[in-house]
Amino acid sequence: MHPATRVLRVALAGNPNSGKTSVFNVLTGLHQQVGNWAGVTVERKSGRIRHGGYELEIIDLPGTYSLTSYTLEERIARQYIFDERPDVIVNVIDAANLERNLHLTVQLLEMGVDLIVDLNMWDEFTASRARLDVERFGVLLGTPVVTTVGHRGHGRTELLDAILRLAEGRSRRHRHVPISLGTRVETVVQQLAERAEQLSAAAGVPLRLPSRYVATKLLEGDPQVVEHIHNRLPALKPLLLEADTTRDHLRLATGMEPARVIGAGRHGFIAGLLRETLSSGPLDRMHRSRQLDRVLTHRVLGLPIFVAFMWLLFNATFTMGAHPAAWIERLVALLGNVVAGALPAGVLRDLVVEGVFGGVGAVAVFLPSIMILFLGIALLEDTGYMARIAFIMDRVMHLFGLHGKSFIPMLTGFGCTVPAILATRTLESRRDRILTALLVPHMSCAARLPVYVLLAGAFFGAQAGNAVMAIYLLGILVALGVGALFSHTFLREEQASFVMELPPYRWPTLRGLAAHTWARSHHYLKKMAGVILIASIVLWVLGNFPRSSTAADLEAHAAQLAARGGATAEVSKLRRQAAAVAIEQSVIGRMGRAIEPVLRPLGFDWRMGVSLVSGFVAKEVVVSTMGVLYQVGAAGATGDAGDGMTGAQAGATGPPTLREALRAPGGGFTPLTAAAFMVFVLLYTPCVASIVAMRRELGARWMWFDVGYQLALAWLAAFGVYRIGTMLGWG
């Protein structure tokens, strides 16, 4: 008997905005893990701590108002309680909002679980004139009751002690009180419950659920419980029939749906409980929030204030994040050089330096921005402003078929698609998450800007700025169209309603912000780093293999020439040729060639194809690949023209800029193909990291769909631009 080895599983249940998360943070500190509930993208947070010789595994169930099977969160919470049977469930209640919060408590009690009621935000309650007879409250509910102030960390030990007492069976308060649902319902519930017990006893299968709970749920017509009986307890099938008859009787007798009669019964129980224990003074906790909302959601001022906040967040994420990102980049480069010095020249060194360190760099460079963004989101959520953003922006986002809260991911998408897809976690319904994640890539990310700047600068002259602007607008318009299309076709079914609580504003706590930011960033690093690293190594290999002998010859020739003190221009020309041949002969180069027939209708040649294929790594790579592929040919031309010059002069003149090279007659680019190319870059898959993020958030099926539809859309749009342009004679 070593109590130290015993693990207690504790689940936290409660309404959204009940301070459940702050209680969880207080209990676990920074020892938390963020993951997903099996198969769905609802955040699953857990943490392990030691207390009183026990190891406590604490699970934060999704915040729910009720325990029906209607929403995903409710199904998850209920499933966990059914299947995992946690030792103790702590029901976190917003003490200032007892009546609504007790709705969930009653349903938990019906499930017959070992419950502790935690009256949270107790400071706000005691500050009001309302008084609660906590003793009697606990007696009537039949549960231990503790009071906590989650965001201050008060009541942690009391709560933990109560958990241990309940788990050890030492709690004097603990007894299962039947929730009376009113005489009429009560009799039929009892009948059904007895029948359920008889049937299960006769068949010799344990019910595993309180019979009373089964009876109530059958009367309510709960599809999950019905299904449970169908699939796992076939012996109880006669019960379903009886339940149906009883439901009809009840419906006739009361003139209401049985579910509503039972709901009213629960409400009656709560009202009775509060009448006996709560002496209510006026409790207007929303007073200060209302004052704040006079300005923050003001009819006229609300929008500009909101825009200012977003501007701040956006700038903080991508400007402030740029400095640490640059340091990290330099650090990685430095380490890369050190390693490069230590390794002998060859394939292995190239792989480590360019592949591994390039890959690590790609992940690490995102990190500061992502942490700042997560901090910003935690701030918005913890203060309560997030709900106001949804309130203000819902009308606009509704045009996309989305929810007001989708605004944050969409805006973030202009910076970087990866954190934007991760930010879709703040959305409650899965349908909104999917649709938002599908639309986010059309918000043109910062990495695509260099491509636009290059091409627009080369082909649109004075109109370059307008061209780039038009591309951004096109992205938004496409998102609008696609959003409307998807939400009227296959994402129509779970059109989420916009019933959303506007919680009171609160001061965020350092602890809460740190815990949220850390847990999410940690999750990001752990889940993304490995995959992106592998992906960048694979792409490096594809871009460098098979090794071309011609390229090696050219390179060797260049080295010889340099050793003999040959003309610098000649040497660099040879080097560029070598690089171009190497990439042309590599797998990526061959893929570019192979897809040339597909891209031909868009007016693209194989070099554009290669650039687009390499753009799967990241969009910046498009520009560098073009640099390699285009400058070489054009450089040859200028090299020939400059034969008479001395080496020094040629070196000073240098190779032509990439812009000039693209404009050169042999470049294959016209203003029209440039426009089509920009449209293609805007619309096709942003980068391998975004694909990974998509897979992490929504699963492989949606990832493939995403990649497929983006490629199809990009091709069609670029085709449209090119063909219509040709018809109008712009080609």
Q: Which residues bind other proteins (CB under 8 A)?
A: 65-66, 68, 70-71, 96-97, 99-100, 103, 259, 263, 267, 271, 283-286, 289-290, 293, 297-300, 302-303, 387, 390-392, 394-396, 398, 404, 497-504
Nearer to other proteins, 198 or 291 (CB): 291
Burial of 461-498, coded b for 16+ CB within 10 Å and e otherwise, reads: eeebeebbebbbebbbebbeebbeebbeeebeeeebee
Query: 207 pairs with which residues across the strands?
Result: none
498 or 704: whose CB is closer to other proteins? 498
| Complex with other proteins: residue 168 or 501, whichever CB lies closer | 501
Of residues 387 and 467, the one with the C-beta less far from other proteins = 387
- Nearer CB in complex with other proteins: 63/686: 63
507: left (phi over 0), alpha (psi -120 to 50) or beta: beta
**Shortest Å, Cβ 225 to other proteins:** 15
* Cβ 272 to other proteins shortest distance, Å: 11
CB of 14 to other proteins, least distance (A): 13
**Distance in Å, CB of 266 to other proteins, minimum:** 10
Specify the residue, 220 or 584, whose C-beta has the smaller distance to other proteins.
220
Give every CB contact of residue 309 below 8 A, 6+ residues apart in sequence. Answer: 385
- Nearest approach in angstroms of CB 431 to other proteins is 13
Nearest by Cα to 151 from 113, 124, 174 = 124
Q: How far is CA 368 from CA 2, 242, 325, 329, 362, in A?
A: 45, 61, 6, 11, 12
Question: How many beta carbons lie within 10 A of that of residue 559, not counting itself?
Answer: 14
Measure the CA–CA gap between 664 and 668, rounded to whole angstroms: 8
Least distance from C-beta 516 to other proteins, angstroms?
Answer: 23
Sheet of 7-14, strands arranged across:
32-36, 43-51, 54-60, 7-14, 88-94, 115-120, 145-147
Distance in angstroms (rounded) separating the CA atoms of residues 540 and 556? 22
> CA-CA distances (angstroms) from residue 179 to 217, 225, 615?
14, 19, 62
Judged by beta carbon, residue 97 or residue 417, the one nearer other proteins is: 97
Query: In angstroms, what is the minimal distance from the CB of 410 to other proteins?
Result: 16
Helix extents (H) in 235-356: 237-254, 258-277, 287-296, 302-315, 322-342, 347-350
Q: How many other CB atoms are there within 10 angstroms of residue 671's CB atom?
A: 19
As measured in angstroms, the least distance from the Cβ of 348 to other proteins is 59
Nearest CB to other proteins, comparing residues 32 and 68: 68
Q: Provide the minimum distance between the beta carbon of 78 and other proteins in the complex, in angstroms, as a whole number.
A: 14
Helix (H) or strand (E) holding 8: strand 7-14
Task: Quote the CA–CA distance of 148 and 118 in Å, as a whole number.
Answer: 7
Question: 293 or 555, CB closer to other proteins?
Answer: 293
Q: Decide if 145 contacts 138 (C-beta within 8 A).
A: yes
> Which amino acid type is present at position 23?
V
Q: How far is 224 from 632, CA to CA, in rounded Å?
A: 66
- Give per-residue burial for 414-452: e unless 16+ CB within 10 Å, then b: bbbbbbbbbbbbbbbbbbbbbbbbbbbbbbbbebbbebb
Nearest to 88 by CA among 194, 1, 159: 159
- Give min distance, CB of 505 to other proteins, in A: 11
C-beta of 179: minimal distance to other proteins in Å?
16
Q: Report the nearest approach of other proteins to the CB of residue 399 (Å).
A: 10
The dihedral through the CA atoms of 684, 687, 688, 690 has a sign that is negative
Measured distance CA(468)–CA(525) in Å, rounded: 33
Q: How far is the CB of 223 from other proteins (least distance, A)?
A: 11
Decide whether 289 or 685 has the Cβ nearer to other proteins: 289
Q: Rounded to the nearest 5 degrees, what angle is found at the Cα of 20, between the Cα atoms of 17 and 22?
A: 100
Provide the angle, in degrees to the nearest 10, between the axes of the packed helices 211-220 and 223-232. 120
Query: In terms of CB distance, is 196 or 243 closer to other proteins?
Result: 243
Q: Which tokens in the block code for residue 691?
A: 């694909």
248 or 284: whose CB is closer to other proteins? 284
Closest CB to other proteins among 436 and 638?
A: 436
Q: How far is the CB of 99 from other proteins (least distance, A)?
A: 7
Task: Please say which residue, 398 or 590, places its beta carbon nearer to other proteins.
Answer: 398
Other C-beta atoms within 10 Å of 310: how many?
18
